[in-house]
Amino acid sequence: MEKQTVYDYSAPLLDGQEQSLAQFSGQVLLIVNTASKCGFTPQYAGLEALYQTYRDRGFTVLGFPSNQFGAQEPGSAAEIATFCETRFAVTFPLFAKIEVNGPAAHPLYRLLKREQPGLLGVFGSGNIRWNFTKFLVDRNGRVTARYGPARKPEKLAGAIERLLGPL
C-alpha cells in the first residue's frame, strides 16, 4: 500500500539515528532540501527564525541536506552539523544527506513531488530543480504547497500562520 502522508516515513538524522516523522504528527512542517555551499545557504537563518517564531504553536522545519545540485553539499554529516550550528545557530532537525531526485530519491521526496509537482512538474517529472526548495505540510501530514529556492523563508510566514490557526 502506498504511503499517504509525510508521517508515514522515517529518515536518519545527521547523527545516524533513525527518526520517524510520526513524531511530528499534528504539527505544521516546512520540509527543505538544503546545502552548505549554495547561493541560497543564507536561508538557513530565515528558516531558523521561522522555527523559533512558530515552534511553540506546533511548527517545525525539517532540513534534508542533498549534494545533487552542483555538488554544493560535499561535507560529512559531522561537517554539515558543525557548519549549520556555528554559522547559522540551526536548532531545527537536520537529517542525513539524501537524494531528492532520480531512482535513489528518498521515498519522502517521491511523496512530496507527487503531491506538489510544482509549476513545471505539471508538465513533467516534478523534480526538484535546486537546493532550498520548500514544501509546506499541514497538521494532517498533507503537502499543501511547494515553494522554489528564490522564495525567502520569511515570505512564508502568512501561509504558516494560516495552517497553524488562531492563537
Catalytic residues: 38
Rounded CA Rg of the chain: 15
Q: What is the dihedral of CA 43, 83, 12, 48, to 10 degrees?
A: -30
Give the CA distances from residue 41 to residues 65, 130, 153, in Å, rounded to whole numbers and listed in that order.
11, 12, 12
> What is the distance between the alpha carbons of residues 101 and 55, in angstroms, rounded to a whole number?
29
